[in-house]
Structure 1
Amino acid sequence: MIIREISVSDAEAFLRLSRGLDKETQYMLYEPGERSTTLEEQRARIEKIHNKGFSTIFVAEDEEQLVGYAGIFGSALKRVRHRASIVIGILPPFQGRGLGTKLLGVTHQWAKEKGIHRLELTVMEHNRHAMYLYNKMGYRVEGMRKSAIVLEDRTIDEFYMGKILKADKEK
């Protein structure tokens, strides 16, 4: 398994991964078939992420297939450039193998190198596997967004979680 930063040449494979996650899990934002991103749009988004310098995506590759990713999305605004949002998705057959831990580990290291020390994410309250991973990696629930998601005609609450990264010398 290889974990690396995404490149523009990964656009087609990343779009395929994203659509696969849309179909195979209910824990991501898009419904199956709802994603309308074109290959050209995906290439442009990846290029934009690289050019701005305060966001990136790490992909997990297994036998030349993308099987998971962790995105970290920050801001250039002075008041919030110390924080970034995390999004992670792993295809179900590759879950439970430590891949989430590895993906979050590389995003944490990247964030430290960029001077980001607060990470945030949201997770559906019934996604126990993700909650376990995030707690293990030091994220803590900071609040709840009531009725944040509509899934199969019912509303789902979402936990808002955060983590403060310590500098390497503070470990």
Structure 2
Amino acid sequence: MIVEGREYTVPGLRYVIRSAKPEDAEALSDVRLQIDGETENLDREKGEAYVDGEGFKKIIKADSDSPVNLFLVAETNGRIAGFSRCEGNNLKRTSHRVEFGVGVLKEFWGHGIGKNLLQKSIHWADDHHIRKITLSVLQTNENAIKLYKKLGFEVEGVLKDDKRLSDGNYYHTIVMGRIHQGDGPAR
């Protein structure tokens, strides 16, 4: 689905959060690769499950055409600083929920980009009668967990020893969900 963009101004940075467009595909491929190498909070190491520009064009087209998918980018000065996706499906038993994922370039951490991508996704989900948003977060990502709780997410489970990081140790993945409590029918 395509949504209207919104501008954000914080000390030292002005950026827009908007729907991804096909012309973002090459930059998204580069940004995703860089983000994967900057943090161990995500599922992939740098270069794993690589998606090239053509792959991103297909994802953007499918997400733009789908009423249960949302692909957002945060853009500053013509450059993509981060992105998020909500991915749903059309199966009757699970069509009421989407899974949220986010990535922000390290140089832009601390400017509220991840928070604003999530808030825009929550508003979209609520406005489009999506009942539930789920996400997974590494147990060591305490700032993200605090943010998710602040925005209405609850811990639904723990996947023990789910990820092995570069230090050779295993870490838990926290599964969180937010159920829409508003008026109106949900999917």
**Contact between 1:23 and 1:32, CA under 8 Å: does it hold in 2?**
yes
Q: What is the alpha-carbon distance in structure 2 between the residues aligned to residue 96 and residue 165 of structure 1?
A: 27
Structure 2 counterparts to residues 100-111 of structure 1, below 5 A? 100-111=114-125
**Cα distance change of structure 1 residues 25 and 72 upon mapping to structure 2, 3 Å threshold:** same
Aligned partner of 1:112 in structure 2 is 126
Aligned partner of 1:82 in structure 2 is 96
1:43 aligns with 2:57: yes
Q: TM-score, normalised by structure 2?
A: 0.85
Q: TM-score, normalised by structure 1?
A: 0.92
**Contact between 2:17 and 2:75, CA under 8 Å: does it hold in 1?**
yes
User: 1 or 2, which has the higher helix percentage?
Assistant: 1
The one-letter code sitting in structure 2 at the alignment partner of 1:155 is Y
Aligned partner of 2:106 in structure 1 is 92
Shift, 1:32, TM fit: 1.4
Shift, 1:25, TM fit: 1.1
Aligned partner of 1:134 in structure 2 is 148
Identity %: 31
Moved over 6 A (4+): none
For structure 1, the residue ranges without an aligned partner over 5 or more in a row are: none
**Cα distance change of structure 1 residues 17 and 91 upon mapping to structure 2, 3 Å threshold:** same
Summarize deviations over 1:15-70 as a string: whole Å, max 9, x none: 11101101111111110122432221221122122223311111101111111112
Summarize deviations over 1:77-114 as a string: whole Å, max 9, x none: 12111111100111122122222221111101111232
For structure 2, the residue ranges without an aligned partner over 5 or more in a row are: 1-14
**Contact between 2:100 and 2:134, CA under 8 Å: does it hold in 1?**
yes
Aligned partner of 1:167 in structure 2 is 182
Give the total of aligned pairs.
Answer: 169
Q: Pick from 23, 27, 33: which aligns with 1:19?
A: 33
Q: What is the alpha-carbon distance in structure 1 between the residues aligned to residue 137 and residue 99 of structure 2?
A: 12
Q: What is the alpha-carbon distance in structure 2 between the residues aligned to residue 36 and residue 98 of structure 1?
A: 27
1:54 aligns with 2:57: no
Aligned partner of 1:158 in structure 2 is 173
Partner-residue secondary structure (3-state), 2:85: strand
Aligned partner of 1:31 in structure 2 is 45
**Contact between 2:33 and 2:50, CA under 8 Å: does it hold in 1?**
no
Over aligned residues, Cα RMSD in angstroms? 1.5
Q: What is the alpha-carbon distance in structure 1 between the residues aligned to residue 55 and residue 45 of structure 2?
A: 19
Shift, 1:129, TM fit: 1.4
